[in-house]
Amino acid sequence: MPIDALKYPITYLANVGDARAKQLKDGMGIETYGDLLLQFPSKHIDRSRFYYTHELTTDMPYVQMRGQILSFEEEGFGRKRRIVGHFSDGHGIVDLVWFNGLQYVEKSYKLLTPYVVFGKPVLFRDRFSITHPEMELAERFSRSGMGLRPYYSIPDKLQKRGINTRMMEQWVATVFRILHEPLPETLPEYLVQELKLMSRDEAIRAMHYPQSADHLSRASFRLKFEELFFIQLNILRYSRERNRRFAGHVFARVGDVFNDFYYHHLPFPLTGAQKRVIREIREDVRSGRQMNRLLQGDVGSGKTLVALMSMLIALDNGFQACIMAPTEILAEQHLDTFRQFLGDMPVRVELLTGTVKGKRRQAIMEGLQTGEVQILVGTHAVIEDNVTFRNLGFVVIDEQHRFGVAQRAKLWNKGQDAEGQGFRIVPHVLVMTATPIPRTLAMTVYGDLDVSIIDELPPGRKPITTIHHYENRREELYRGLRQQISIGRQAYVVYPLIKESEKVDLQNLEEGFHQFQKAFPDLSISMVHGKMKPADKDQEMSRFVSGETQILMATTVIEVGVNVPNASVMVIMNAERFGLAQLHQLRGRVGRGAEQSYCILVTSFKLSGDTRRRIQIMTETNDGFEIAEEDMKLRGPGDLEGTQQSGIPFDLHIANLARDGQIVQLARDVARRVLDSDPQGDRPEHQGMWQALRDLNKNTIDWSAIS
């Protein structure tokens, strides 16, 4: 069969059919023979020997046995019905247990007939059992099937429909058997030779059927490099193309506005990190290139001040600036902060959100068109089509993972484009995040952005002390809270609110509110959650900000957007239900004043290994970058906020950004070298590589031009 067979629909394979083809597409994204070959095994299992019952131990992952079923019996009834087969290898008895596909079991498996059985042994009531074993008639079992065998992770939904790892292996083997030509190479031959890589054909075959552990390792390296190389090639190519097609407004001078602020209104001395980042931005905006810069820094590190000072450079050069925040609360906080910082300076800053209406909105719109409004602070309302600027030159996007790529594109295009010599002049873009991004993820998801990091906290800030409490230590928790409140401090108490069980969670918050009222009858306590009317929520928030209430009980609506330096305690209830990044963000709500602050993580006793590790990390470090690295190791990059919409243009089948940092760096270096040697993409030896990238890259929009 020709290599074009890789594009054949999997319905053509024996034992698939239309119904299974739809299940495989919906459950695993498999539509063609080629997709099937790229569905690599999650692990390989050594099936080089048979085990006897007396050799079984509880720490064995999988075993292979030979014997026969002596008898069947049914247990339970209705949905809990199961079939148990008593299997003997002549040395003892193992129970084979089936909960699903019972009719198939009854019809297919015969008593006193030799079978080869494969599965995971579990000890139950002094007897080993194997649930849903793989079964094969001993007379059909081939020795060639022994050795390292692929094991495919099949979603539960598909397993219940009868699709298992054995079936996947048979389909993969069938495709390999009917392919008469090697799988096409995607990398230039000189790179394969230089990096001592396996051919793509050998690597894909070895991923399913390796000859040894070393053979599998070499295949894995080749395919990880290929995936990461094409991602880096895509990012760097777009980045270079953007620099060719787009230019930035030239901010040639630092003038009166910036200098007046710096010398007369700066609220506190800049840290070394803030000065360094402002210099990096200054170099960008006067270069003539359009700036696309990612500014990372922990909560409270001073990103907002850096953003404001960068905007003032735009004002000095006759341009307007804009900052877009994900929530009204955060936008209002930015407005208050800017006005507080600027004091009596003659700079007009306005707020545009969904609740700004009527004459006030009209006045702001007119001020934007005339240029009188110099800095606009807003939410997604600023990207509406009827919002137009006179001369937008600098855009800041805060907590950028909260915005879809298309939303960011709209804001980016608000600038008054000027036609140059074959290029467009557009606003500079500063993307800010308080969620530190691991280095390998930054190189991949945000690889076309220049990265600035504020890695210093302002002087006088003390590290937050984080403590883990089990839920039965309430009295101790109350004592600690009362002690802090008695010296004039305030506290947050946060409950989870997760969409799948909002009613239950809301009850938990309300129940907790009553418990705290009972424990602190002499204190004023506020409560806020997402189900409240905005006006009621704002009123409760304001009471806490003003100090009228001492405890604010909330859901994660306070994750961003509340700045109360007097709050020194953050209590997170059911902390096991939060991810590391969210725990770190919530903790960042305290520690904003000069006093010692505390974060109390309250959990149940029953914690999984990963959850216990998350809690341990939180108690050991305040370093957001260290936490981000650990978070990526625990959850994988695909689950981190923003990665689904921010830049990886095609799926990763084998590379893991949490573990393959060195390969990411190698791939980036090689991709840069290839582009340097062939900027026009016309070298003959690169044509197969460019075609492979075109086949992979289904994105038709140049998102990298907008960050």
Question: Residue 505: its pLDDT value, please?
Answer: 53
Are the CB atoms for 416 and 433 separated by under 8 Å? no
pLDDT higher than threshold 60 for residue 672: yes
Last residue of a domain, one of 621, 636, 670: 621
In a domain, 171, yes or no: no
- Output the DSSP codes for 492-554: EEE----GGGHHHHHHHHHHHHHHHHHH-TTS-EEEE-TTS-HHHHHHHHHHHHTTS-SEEEE
Are 497 and 587 contained in the same domain? yes
Q: Rounded to the nearest 10 degrees, what angle do helices 609-620 and 580-587 cross at? A: 30
Q: Rounded to the nearest 10 degrees, what angle do helices 624-635 and 580-587 cross at? A: 160
In a domain, 19, yes or no: no
Are 450 and 476 contained in the same domain? no
- Output the DSSP codes for 397-452: EESGGGS-HHHHHHHHTTS--EE-SSSEEE-EEEEEESS---HHHHHHTTTTSEEE
Give strand pairing partners of 136: 116
Specify the 3-state DSSP secondary structure of 311.
helix
Are 399 and 503 contained in the same domain? no
Domain at 137, CATH number:
2.40.50.140
What torsion, rounded to 10 degrees, do the Cα atoms 298, 301, 305, 307 define?
-30
Residue 94 is part of which domain span? 49-146
Beta strands in 138-242 (DSSP E): 148-151
Last residue of a domain, one of 590, 621, 652: 621
Q: Where is pLDDT greater, at 540 or 441? A: 540
Question: Residue 558: its pLDDT value, please?
Answer: 65
Question: Residue 466: its pLDDT value, please?
Answer: 95
Question: Residue 471: its pLDDT value, please?
Answer: 87
Give strand pairing partners of 392: 320
pLDDT higher than threshold 70 for residue 446: no
Specify the 3-state DSSP secondary structure of 454.
strand
DSSP state of 317: T
Burial (CB count <10 Å: 0-12, 13-18, 19+), residue 583: buried
Question: Residue 1: its pLDDT value, please?
Answer: 52
**pLDDT-derived band at 498, boundaries 50, 70, 90:** very low
- Across 73-87, 145-159, 642-656, the highest mean pLDDT is recorded for 73-87
Are 73 and 96 contained in the same domain? yes
What torsion, rounded to 10 degrees, do the Cα atoms 576, 579, 582, 584 define?
80
**pLDDT-derived band at 84, boundaries 50, 70, 90:** very high
**pLDDT-derived band at 247, boundaries 50, 70, 90:** confident
Mean pLDDT to the nearest integer, 498-507? 50
Kindly state the helix (H) or strand (E) to which residue 165 belongs, with its residue range: helix 165-178
Count CB-CB contacts under 10 A for residue 475: 9
Are 382 and 404 contained in the same domain? yes
pLDDT higher than threshold 70 for residue 273: yes
Q: How far apart are CA 164 and CA 151, in angstroms?
A: 9
Specify the 3-state DSSP secondary structure of 263.
helix
Are 430 and 499 contained in the same domain? no
In a domain, 472, yes or no: yes
Q: What angle do CA 674, 680, 683 make, to 5 degrees?
A: 65
Q: Where is pLDDT greater, at 2 or 130? A: 130
Q: Where is pLDDT greater, at 162 or 683? A: 683
- Output the DSSP codes for 37-63: HTS--SEEEE-SS---GGG--TT-S-E
Kindly state the helix (H) or strand (E) to which residue 657 belongs, with its residue range: none
**The total number of structural domains that make up the chain:** 3
pLDDT higher than threshold 60 for residue 406: no
In a domain, 318, yes or no: yes
Of 139-148, 448-457, 541-550, the one with minimum mean pLDDT is 139-148
Q: Which tokens belong to 516?
A: 């705290």
Are 447 and 526 contained in the same domain? no
Are the CB atoms for 601 and 407 separated by under 8 Å? no
Burial (CB count <10 Å: 0-12, 13-18, 19+), residue 529: buried
Q: How far apart are CA 336 and CA 326, in angstroms?
A: 16
Question: Residue 642: its pLDDT value, please?
Answer: 42
pLDDT higher than threshold 80 for residue 16: yes
Last residue of a domain, one of 406, 433, 454: 454
Q: Which residues contact 103 (CB under 8 A, 6 or more apart)?
A: none
Length of the chain in residues, anyone?
707
Are 398 and 350 contained in the same domain? yes
Burial (CB count <10 Å: 0-12, 13-18, 19+), residue 49: exposed
Question: Residue 276: its pLDDT value, please?
Answer: 94
Mean pLDDT to the nearest integer, 508-537? 87
pLDDT higher than threshold 70 for residue 641: no
Q: Which tokens belong to 600?
A: 């109390």
Q: What is the mean pLDDT of the chain?
A: 84
**pLDDT-derived band at 493, boundaries 50, 70, 90:** very high
Are 481 and 423 contained in the same domain? no
Sign of CA dihedral 15, 17, 22, 23: negative
- List Cα–Cα distances, 389 to 222, 359, 361, 637, in angstroms: 50, 18, 14, 37
**pLDDT-derived band at 650, boundaries 50, 70, 90:** low
Per residue in 558-603, pLDDT tens? 655 567 888 999 999 999 988 888 898 889 888 877 789 999 999 9
In a domain, 662, yes or no: no
Beta strands in 230-380 (DSSP E): 246-248, 292-297, 320-324, 349-352, 375-378
Question: Residue 374: its pLDDT value, please?
Answer: 96
Are 472 and 554 contained in the same domain? yes
In a domain, 140, yes or no: yes
Are 413 and 471 contained in the same domain? no
**Nearest CA-CA partner of 586 in 595, 594, 596, 575:** 575
Question: Residue 707: its pLDDT value, please?
Answer: 39
Q: How far apart are CA 426 and CA 526, in angstroms?
A: 46
DSSP state of 289: B
Question: Residue 268: its pLDDT value, please?
Answer: 84
Per residue in 596-623, pLDDT tens? 999 999 998 888 888 899 999 999 988 8
Count CB-CB contacts under 10 A for residue 522: 7
In a domain, 69, yes or no: yes
Question: Residue 644: its pLDDT value, please?
Answer: 40
Are 445 and 484 contained in the same domain? no
Q: Which tokens belong to 135?
A: 């079964």
pLDDT higher than threshold 50 for residue 510: yes
Q: Which tokens belong to 447?
A: 């690889």
pLDDT higher than threshold 80 for residue 194: yes
Q: Where is pLDDT greater, at 525 or 581? A: 525
DSSP state of 182: P
In a domain, 228, yes or no: no
- List Cα–Cα distances, 309 to 107, 138, 258, 404, 562, in angstroms: 76, 76, 7, 26, 22
Question: Residue 666: its pLDDT value, please?
Answer: 92
Phi/psi of residue 118, nearest 5 degrees: -135, 135
Domain at 397, CATH number:
3.40.50.300
Give strand pairing partners of 352: 378
